[in-house]
Structure 1
């Protein structure tokens, strides 16, 4: 098993679109470092069949400061030797209780904001610091949502976190554009995907979530992408020659 010239760091790789992205990246010849709630033995076996290197960290991203410090140390020790590209994909996310803000427990709100916004910011900072002098191509991809660009009742924390993700990406893109070897940066909405989050939305109390029927309608109409389909579109966008030219984008654009 030889080292790949392409290294991808991926959060939330244990299920849904993240899991599909991990498999597709391994098949495309990337080495992976995955940060997920728990290691996935089936993914390790997939990496073995693909002849690729895979490291998995069991990581609680609500404790992002520790995760970011560990990532920075790991990247510094690894160095850029032999790499043509290094990419961080901030994919992990959680959906807090689906209810009006005043009905959601403070601990639930705090957990969601830590995982959905604080963790991507801290990991991105660690990634950019550790790789600042690396001569290879560097990319930062934040997985956003249409709800970061459209308000929805009973979704205040998730909408706010994704809007924050978009806007911090715009700021980082401006910063990196001024550097000699700046990273290419994008916050990308992946479309509507048939994942556990969609199950949560369809199963919400209609008395507390007025948009429940619209999410059920997407399922009934067959309008949801499979995780594998969504992963393929996201990775195709990541490979585009103009990746980063628009810091906030949508795969459907």
Structure 2
């Protein structure tokens, strides 16, 4: 059997990725602050705030033990949980918001990945780490200091871990996936930004008007097909345009 861990799975891409895994008969453990209403015997949910890293390690250790007990052939770990806020210029940002976003977008997935690799190193499970990226990792966007930098950091984490895995001699993979622009709550947050804080807000509002936002389910199915049916390349940053 195969197993997937999906963070931020209560809505948007995370919800759709969980559903897509389940549609393929892959068991899912979902993590998010609010509940997920997926009704499936192969789905379980852990309610937690991934932005609060104080108890995260112990939670992941417990989750790793569940993985060991289930003894899957392969474990997919999709680090999807993140937030675009705060959208604001340097000098106008709230420092607590900076810390919160960095914890959720960057520190939390590193703790999850590090703890799982450590706890599973004596098991036979094939491990596939998937970090959800963004075009913002490569392109500077006015007012997106925090989101841009955390996504860029996650891409570099992906590449470094891929390099390490190549030399480890175990069936481990580390990739990132840029899902592009989707019709999610995150896009609604972006469209609601002030022009002072985000000078390009009108372009994102236009995406919605002209129907340029993909369905999260369409993107999720492309991602899961990539993970399950393709030969992955360690350390690679994949784009949604490669799978759709």
Name the TM-score class by shorter chain: over 0.9
**Unpaired runs of 5+ in structure 2?**
none
Moved more, 57-66 or 159-168: 57-66
* RMSD of Structure 2 on Structure 1 (CA): 1.6
Gaps of 5+ in 1: none
The reply to whether residue 64 of structure 1 matches residue 60 of structure 2 is no
Q: 1:122 maps to what in 2?
A: 111
Q: Of residues 34, 37, 40 in structure 2, which corresponds to 1:47?
A: 40
Q: Give the TM-score, by structure 1 length.
A: 0.90
Q: 1:19 aligns with which of 15, 18, 25?
A: 15
Give the 3-state SS of the residue equivalent to 1:96 in structure 2.
coil
How far did 1:246 drift?
4.8
Contact 1:117 1:164 in 2 (8 A): yes
- Tell me: CA distance 1:208–1:131, structure 2 relative to 1, closer, same or farther (3 Å): same
Query: What is the aligned partner in structure 2 of residue 155 from structure 1?
Result: 144
User: Which residue, 134, 154, 176 being the options, matches 1:145?
Assistant: 134
In the alignment, is the contact (CA less than 8 A) between 1:80 and 1:134 conserved in 2? no
* Shift in alpha-carbon separation, 1:133–1:244, aligned structure 2, 3 A: farther
- Which one of the candidate residues 150, 156, 168 is aligned to 2:157? 168
Q: CA deviation at 1:207?
A: 2.5
The answer (yes or no) to whether the contact 1:92–1:115 under 8 Å persists in 2 is yes
The answer to whether residue 188 in structure 2 is matched with residue 195 in structure 1 is no
Query: Is 1:243 paired with 2:223?
Result: no
User: In the TM superposition, what is the alpha-carbon distance from 1:245 to its structure 2 partner?
Assistant: 3.9
Task: State the distance in 1 between where 2:240 and 2:69 align.
Answer: 30
Residues 118-166 of structure 1 show CA distances to partners (whole Å, capped at 9, x for unaligned) of 0010001011112223223210000010001111010000000000000
Match of 1:36 among 26, 32, 40: 32
List 4+ stretches of structure 1 deviating above 4 A: none
Q: Deviations over 1:165-201 (max 9, x none)?
A: 0001111111111112141110110111011111111
Q: Which residue matches 1:106?
A: 95
Report the more deviating stretch, 231-240 or 160-169. Answer: 231-240
In the alignment, the residues of structure 2 paired with residue 20 and residue 77 of structure 1 have an alpha-carbon distance, to the nearest angstrom, of: 23
Cα distance in 2, alignment partners of residues 233 and 81 from structure 1: 27
**Residues 222, 132 of structure 1: alpha-carbon distance in 2 compared, 3 angstrom cutoff:** same
Structure 2 distance, partners of 1:192, 1:66, is 32
* Counterpart secondary structure, 1:79: helix
Aligned equivalent of 2:4, options 8, 17, 20: 8
Aligned CA distance change for structure 1 residues 77 and 215 (closer, same or farther; 3 Å): closer
TM-score by length of 2: 0.93
What CA deviation, in whole Å up to 9, does each residue of 1:224-245 have, x standing for no partner? 1011111111112222432234
Q: Would the aligned equivalents of 1:187 and 1:247 in 2 still touch at CA under 8 Å?
A: yes
Match of 1:179 among 168, 179, 189: 168
1:226 paired residue among 215, 226, 240: 215
